[in-house]
Amino acid sequence: MDLQLTGKVAVITGGTVGIGLAVARGLAAEGAHLALCARDERRLRAVVHDLKTEFPVRVIGVAADVSALDGPAKLAGAVTAEFGGADILINNAGTGSDETILTAPDERWQAYWDLHVMAAVRLARAIAPGMKARGGGVILHNASICATQPLGYEPIYNVTKAALVMFSKCLANELIGDNIRVNAVNPGLVMTPDWQKTAKALTAGTDRSWEDYLQGIADDNAPIGRFADPAEIADLFVFLCSPRAGYVVGSTYYVDGGWLRTTT
Say if strands 180-187 and 33-38 run parallel, antiparallel, or are unpaired: unpaired
Compute CA 178 distance to the chain's CA centroid, rounded to the nearest angstrom.
Answer: 23
Question: From CA 17, how far away is CA 203, in angstroms rounded?
Answer: 23
Say if CB 196 and CB 212 are below 8 A apart.
Answer: no
Long-range contacts of 146-151 (CB under 8 A, 24+ apart): 147/186, 147/252, 148/186, 148/260, 148/262, 148/264, 149/259, 149/260, 149/261, 149/262
Question: From CA 29, how far away is CA 51, in angstroms rounded?
Answer: 10
Q: Which helix (H) or strand (E) holds 138?
A: strand 137-142
Compute CA 94 distance to the chain's CA centroid, rounded to the nearest angstrom.
Answer: 7
Distances (CA, A) of 138 to 79, 156, 171, 229, 242: 15, 27, 11, 24, 8
Question: From CA 35, how far away is CA 60, in angstroms rounded?
Answer: 5
Active-site residue, 157 included: yes
Say if CB 193 and CB 183 are below 8 A apart.
Answer: no
**Of 112, 153, 157, 253, which is the active-site residue?**
157
Residue 198 neighbours by CB distance under 10 Å: 17
Residues identified as active-site? 157
